[in-house]
Structure 1
Amino acid sequence: MREIVFDTETTGLDPKTGDRMVEIGCVELVNRVPTGATWHGYFNPDRDMPAGAEAVHGLSAAFLADKPRFRDRVAELIDFIGDAPLVAHNAGFDFAFLNYELDLCGLEAVCLSRMVDTVGIAKRRHPGAKLSLDALCTRYGIDRSHRVKHGALLDAELLAQVYIELTGGRQIGLELAAHEAASNVVAIRPLAGIRREFRPPRPHAASAAELLRHRAFIQAMAEPLWAS
């Protein structure tokens, strides 16, 4: 099964009030295993970047000024995500911005039935625990030392690892590896030109003398379980 783990960075919290998506990162999984295929884009939002948002992701208006608009790369993005389920952390937020940008392009929204929210999965797996991406990385021993600020592709890559852990993906990966190893077993054949001496099979039945000694040993026991 193909799935896309994705994350977005934005100018704020609500597209309905004029906030825009400025970055998206996508990671492809097949059968809960990363394939190495990713898709990433920065976008010029045609507006300023609030200081609070820039403090989170470090993307300034000056940095984004020469980047393409979302509409310029939307066809690539749609082609990459295809019809796969889309996995995100607090997915309602990311879906709202993605669908807002698609609507501005006059394109059909991504159906919410494709949404997979890792916050919801984490709540069921770890009720009462901290559910941030950082907290889940710590819980599962995922290295996030290189995450100084939020970044869509980096966060999607970390989330992919978290999602695999939340859904038992390590066991899935081990099963796949075992199956692959079994399918790659090569039969060992005798080397050409080497003649092997035939040896008759060794007898495994007890001899009459061995049976007599065994019976004597049993009879010497107080309450033998094996007495017939």
Structure 2
Amino acid sequence: MREIVLDTETTGFEPETGDRLVEIGAVELWNHVATGNTYHQYINPERSMPEEAFKVHGLGDEFLRDKPLFRDVADAFLEFIGDAKLVIHNAAFDMKFLNAELGWVRRPLIPMDRAIDTVAMARKKFPGSPASLDALCRRFGIDNSARTLHGALLDSEILAEVYLELIGGKQPDFALSQTVRSEGPDVAEDWRPMPRPTPLPPRITDMEKAAHAAFVEKLGDAALWKRG
């Protein structure tokens, strides 16, 4: 099962009033394990960066001026995410901006049901507790000391750790109930562990068996091995 943990940075809060994406970061998970495959892109928002946004992200007009426009990176972004589920903290915000940008360049929009919102997950699991990314890092003991400024790739990497904790810890079921990634049609996609058709040969030697029997005999009739 492929999932993409994703974060964006923007110039503000509302694309309808002219705010734009300035950064996208994403991390690939396969069966709840990070593969090391990532996507990271700065984007020229074609507008000035507000002072408040600059304080949060540290991305200024001069830095962003020579970065590609969203229309130049849209296809590569869509190719990276494919049809995977998108794990996003406060998904409605990021999806709003992604779909606004995709709509402006006439690319397919991303259905909202593809998003897994970790804010909603945290509020359901810990009712009444703070659900910010920093608060969840403190709860789960995740090191976020490098997060002095908001950065999309770093935040997505941290969010991936938070997400795995929210679903029960890394590899919560050792991927035995997940689809096995295959490269050919002959590999079963719903593999489950089964008993061995031929039991493994015992590894205990006759000498070890005899030594154990002698040890148990010395323990008397109250020994657990005799009562069992």
**TM-score of the alignment, normalized to the shorter chain, above 0.5:** yes
Structure 1: give runs of 5+ residues left out of the alignment. Answer: 180-186, 189-197, 218-225
Question: 1:34 & 1:81 partners in 2: Cα distance?
Answer: 14
Distance verdict in 2 for CA 1:103–1:175, change over 3 Å: closer
Which residues in structure 2 correspond to 1:208-227 (within 5 Å)?
Answer: none
Q: Secondary structure at the match of 1:170?
A: coil
**Higher radius of gyration, 1 or 2:** 1
Whether 1:122 and 2:107 are equivalent positions in the alignment is no
Amino acid at match of 2:82: G
Secondary structure in 2 matching 1:102: helix
What's the offset of the Cα at 1:169? 3.2
Normalising to structure 2: TM-score of the pair? 0.77
Q: Distance in 1 between matches of 2:171 and 2:33?
A: 11
Aligned partner of 2:148: which letter?
A: V
1:157-172 aligned at under 5 Å gives the runs 157-172=157-172
TM (normalized to structure 1)? 0.77
Q: What's the counterpart of residue 221 of structure 1? A: none
Per the alignment, residue 94 of structure 2 pairs with 94
Partner Cα distance (1:172, 1:149) in 2:
31
Q: State the Cα distance separating 1:170 from its structure 2 match.
A: 2.3
Task: Say if 1:171 and 1:110 are closer, same or farther in 2 by CA, change over 3 A.
Answer: closer
Separation in 2 of the partners of 1:124 and 1:3?
21
8 Å Cα contact 1:6/1:156 also seen in 2: yes
The residue type equivalent to 2:129 in the other structure is A
Displacement, 1:172? 2.1
User: Identity of paired residues, percent?
Assistant: 55
Opposite residue 64 of structure 1, the aligned amino acid is L
Letter in 1 for 2:42: Y
The secondary structure found in structure 1 opposite 2:40 is strand
- Structure 2 residue ranges without an equivalent (≥5): 177-191, 193-199
C-alpha displacement of 1:166: 0.1
Alignment partners' CA distance in 2, 1:124 and 1:165: 14
Q: 1:106 to 1:172 in 2, by over 3 A?
A: same
Residue identity opposite 1:150 in structure 2: H
1:150 counterpart = 2:150: yes
Is residue 33–residue 171 contact of structure 2 (8 Å, CA) maintained in 1? no
RMSD across aligned positions (CA): 3.0
Q: How many residues align?
A: 193
C-alpha contact (below 8 Å) 1:33/1:173 kept by paired residues: no
C-alpha contact 1:33 1:169 (8 A) present in aligned 2: no
Q: In the TM superposition, what are the counterparts of 1:68-147 in structure 2 within 5 Å?
A: 68-147=68-147
Report deviation, 1:175: 6.6
Partner of 2:10: 10
Correspondence 1:33 to 2:28: no
